[in-house]
Amino acid sequence: MRTGFSLLELVVVIALLSLSLLLVVPQFSQQMEKEQLKTAVSDVQAFILQARSLAITHHQNLWLHLISPSSSATDKYLSLDWLLRVSTAEDASKGQRLLTLSGQRYRKILVRSGFPQNRLFIDGHSGKLGNGSITLSARSTPERQIKVITSYGAGRVRYCSVGTAIYGYPAC
Protein backbone atom coordinates (compact mmCIF):
# COMPACT_ATOMS: atom_id res chain seq x y z
CA MET A 1 0.00 0.00 0.00
CA ARG A 2 1.38 3.32 -1.14
CA THR A 3 0.80 6.64 0.71
CA GLY A 4 1.66 10.21 -0.39
CA PHE A 5 2.59 11.57 -3.78
CA SER A 6 5.45 10.67 -6.04
CA LEU A 7 7.98 13.27 -7.10
CA LEU A 8 6.69 13.10 -10.67
CA GLU A 9 3.12 13.87 -9.57
CA LEU A 10 4.31 16.89 -7.56
CA VAL A 11 6.36 18.22 -10.48
CA VAL A 12 3.38 17.90 -12.86
CA VAL A 13 1.06 19.75 -10.43
CA ILE A 14 3.60 22.54 -9.87
CA ALA A 15 4.14 22.87 -13.65
CA LEU A 16 0.38 23.15 -14.26
CA LEU A 17 0.00 25.77 -11.52
CA SER A 18 2.92 27.77 -12.93
CA LEU A 19 1.43 27.65 -16.41
CA SER A 20 -1.95 28.86 -15.17
CA LEU A 21 -0.29 31.75 -13.30
CA LEU A 22 1.56 32.78 -16.46
CA LEU A 23 -1.77 33.09 -18.24
CA VAL A 24 -3.61 34.94 -15.44
CA VAL A 25 -1.03 37.55 -14.33
CA PRO A 26 -1.00 39.64 -17.58
CA GLN A 27 -4.80 39.80 -17.60
CA PHE A 28 -4.80 40.91 -13.97
CA SER A 29 -2.24 43.63 -14.73
CA GLN A 30 -4.31 44.93 -17.65
CA GLN A 31 -7.43 44.99 -15.47
CA MET A 32 -5.55 47.00 -12.82
CA GLU A 33 -4.45 49.55 -15.45
CA LYS A 34 -8.00 49.81 -16.77
CA GLU A 35 -9.36 50.50 -13.27
CA GLN A 36 -6.59 53.02 -12.60
CA LEU A 37 -7.46 54.80 -15.86
CA LYS A 38 -11.16 54.94 -14.96
CA THR A 39 -10.30 56.31 -11.51
CA ALA A 40 -7.97 58.94 -12.99
CA VAL A 41 -10.65 60.10 -15.47
CA SER A 42 -13.20 60.41 -12.69
CA ASP A 43 -10.75 62.23 -10.40
CA VAL A 44 -9.68 64.70 -13.11
CA GLN A 45 -13.31 65.50 -13.94
CA ALA A 46 -14.16 65.96 -10.25
CA PHE A 47 -11.07 68.14 -9.76
CA ILE A 48 -12.07 70.47 -12.61
CA LEU A 49 -15.62 70.73 -11.23
CA GLN A 50 -14.25 71.45 -7.74
CA ALA A 51 -12.03 74.21 -9.17
CA ARG A 52 -15.05 75.68 -10.96
CA SER A 53 -17.08 75.67 -7.73
CA LEU A 54 -14.21 77.34 -5.90
CA ALA A 55 -14.01 80.11 -8.53
CA ILE A 56 -17.75 80.78 -8.31
CA THR A 57 -17.83 80.66 -4.50
CA HIS A 58 -15.00 83.18 -4.15
CA HIS A 59 -15.98 85.27 -7.22
CA GLN A 60 -12.41 85.00 -8.40
CA ASN A 61 -10.93 84.06 -11.77
CA LEU A 62 -8.76 80.98 -11.45
CA TRP A 63 -6.35 79.02 -13.61
CA LEU A 64 -5.95 75.26 -13.77
CA HIS A 65 -2.42 74.26 -14.79
CA LEU A 66 -1.25 70.86 -16.03
CA ILE A 67 2.35 70.70 -14.82
CA SER A 68 5.12 68.20 -15.49
CA PRO A 69 8.79 68.75 -14.61
CA SER A 70 9.95 66.84 -17.70
CA SER A 71 7.44 68.19 -20.22
CA SER A 72 8.54 70.20 -23.22
CA ALA A 73 6.91 71.47 -26.36
CA THR A 74 7.90 68.27 -28.19
CA ASP A 75 6.58 65.80 -25.59
CA LYS A 76 3.53 63.91 -26.76
CA TYR A 77 2.77 62.72 -23.25
CA LEU A 78 3.79 64.03 -19.88
CA SER A 79 5.82 62.12 -17.31
CA LEU A 80 4.87 60.22 -14.19
CA ASP A 81 5.18 63.37 -12.12
CA TRP A 82 2.31 65.31 -13.68
CA LEU A 83 -0.02 67.31 -11.48
CA LEU A 84 -3.04 69.55 -11.83
CA ARG A 85 -2.87 72.77 -9.85
CA VAL A 86 -5.44 75.51 -9.40
CA SER A 87 -4.02 78.97 -8.73
CA THR A 88 -5.00 82.61 -8.86
CA ALA A 89 -2.40 83.48 -11.53
CA GLU A 90 -2.07 82.75 -15.22
CA ASP A 91 1.57 81.79 -14.65
CA ALA A 92 1.84 78.41 -12.88
CA SER A 93 4.75 79.58 -10.71
CA LYS A 94 2.93 82.67 -9.42
CA GLY A 95 -0.21 83.38 -7.46
CA GLN A 96 -1.82 81.53 -4.61
CA ARG A 97 -2.04 77.74 -5.00
CA LEU A 98 -5.50 76.59 -3.99
CA LEU A 99 -5.87 72.95 -5.07
CA THR A 100 -3.55 70.21 -6.31
CA LEU A 101 -4.16 66.78 -7.82
CA SER A 102 -0.97 64.73 -8.03
CA GLY A 103 -0.37 62.17 -10.76
CA GLN A 104 1.69 60.07 -8.34
CA ARG A 105 -1.41 57.95 -7.61
CA TYR A 106 -1.71 57.06 -11.30
CA ARG A 107 1.69 55.56 -12.07
CA LYS A 108 0.48 53.61 -15.11
CA ILE A 109 -1.43 56.49 -16.72
CA LEU A 110 -0.18 58.77 -19.51
CA VAL A 111 -1.56 62.29 -19.65
CA ARG A 112 -1.63 64.79 -22.51
CA SER A 113 -2.90 68.36 -22.37
CA GLY A 114 -5.27 69.73 -24.98
CA PHE A 115 -5.34 73.16 -23.28
CA PRO A 116 -3.49 76.13 -24.76
CA GLN A 117 -0.17 76.49 -22.87
CA ASN A 118 -1.26 73.60 -20.59
CA ARG A 119 -3.67 75.83 -18.67
CA LEU A 120 -7.40 76.33 -18.39
CA PHE A 121 -9.13 79.61 -17.48
CA ILE A 122 -12.06 79.45 -15.05
CA ASP A 123 -14.30 82.55 -14.88
CA GLY A 124 -15.04 83.51 -11.28
CA HIS A 125 -18.46 85.04 -11.95
CA SER A 126 -20.15 82.73 -14.44
CA GLY A 127 -18.10 79.60 -13.79
CA LYS A 128 -17.44 79.21 -17.50
CA LEU A 129 -14.45 77.11 -18.43
CA GLY A 130 -12.10 77.58 -21.33
CA ASN A 131 -12.22 75.09 -24.21
CA GLY A 132 -9.84 72.17 -24.15
CA SER A 133 -9.23 68.65 -22.98
CA ILE A 134 -7.00 66.35 -21.01
CA THR A 135 -6.37 62.96 -22.62
CA LEU A 136 -5.56 59.97 -20.44
CA SER A 137 -4.46 56.47 -21.44
CA ALA A 138 -2.86 53.41 -19.86
CA ARG A 139 0.85 52.90 -20.56
CA SER A 140 0.32 49.37 -21.92
CA THR A 141 -2.46 50.46 -24.30
CA PRO A 142 -1.77 54.09 -25.29
CA GLU A 143 -4.10 53.79 -28.30
CA ARG A 144 -7.09 53.48 -25.92
CA GLN A 145 -7.59 57.08 -24.88
CA ILE A 146 -10.19 58.80 -22.72
CA LYS A 147 -10.69 62.57 -22.97
CA VAL A 148 -11.96 64.87 -20.24
CA ILE A 149 -13.35 67.80 -22.24
CA THR A 150 -14.22 71.30 -21.05
CA SER A 151 -16.54 73.52 -23.02
CA TYR A 152 -16.81 77.30 -22.76
CA GLY A 153 -20.20 77.57 -24.43
CA ALA A 154 -21.92 74.94 -22.32
CA GLY A 155 -19.69 75.48 -19.29
CA ARG A 156 -19.59 71.76 -18.67
CA VAL A 157 -17.07 68.98 -18.18
CA ARG A 158 -17.64 65.66 -19.92
CA TYR A 159 -15.65 62.60 -20.85
CA CYS A 160 -15.55 60.30 -23.86
CA SER A 161 -13.28 57.78 -25.52
CA VAL A 162 -11.26 58.64 -28.61
CA GLY A 163 -12.41 56.58 -31.57
CA THR A 164 -14.70 53.79 -30.42
CA ALA A 165 -16.53 53.32 -27.13
CA ILE A 166 -14.30 51.60 -24.54
CA TYR A 167 -14.45 50.85 -20.82
CA GLY A 168 -18.05 52.08 -20.70
CA TYR A 169 -17.20 55.56 -22.07
CA PRO A 170 -19.08 56.74 -25.17
CA ALA A 171 -17.12 57.63 -28.29
CA CYS A 172 -16.33 61.32 -28.81
More confident call, 26 vs 33: 33
Q: Considering the domain boundaries, does residue 17 fall inside one?
A: no
Distances (CA, A) of 62 to 12, 17, 66, 145: 64, 56, 13, 27
| CATH number of 60's domain | 3.55.40.10
Residue 63 clears pLDDT 60, i.e. is over it: yes
109-140 pLDDT, tens per residue?
A: 999 999 999 999 999 999 999 999 999 999 88
pLDDT at 120 (0 to 100): 95
Confidence of residue 73 (pLDDT cuts 50, 70, 90): very low
Q: Considering the domain boundaries, does residue 146 fall inside one?
A: yes
> What whole-number distance in Å separates Cα of residue 49 and Cα of residue 8?
62
Confidence of residue 76 (pLDDT cuts 50, 70, 90): low
For the segment 77-89, the average pLDDT, to the nearest whole number, is: 81
pLDDT at 46 (0 to 100): 97
For the segment 69-96, the average pLDDT, to the nearest whole number, is: 76
Q: Considering the domain boundaries, does residue 167 fall inside one?
A: no
Give pTM, 2 decimals: 0.82
135-162 pLDDT, tens per residue?
A: 999 988 899 999 999 998 777 899 999 9
> What whole-number distance in Å separates Cα of residue 112 and Cα of residue 102?
14
pLDDT at 6 (0 to 100): 87
Domain containing residue 85: 29-161
> What whole-number distance in Å separates Cα of residue 22 and Cα of residue 11?
16
Give the total number of structural domains in the chain: 1
Q: Considering the domain boundaries, does residue 23 fall inside one?
A: no
Q: Considering the domain boundaries, does residue 140 fall inside one?
A: yes
Q: Considering the domain boundaries, does residue 135 fall inside one?
A: yes
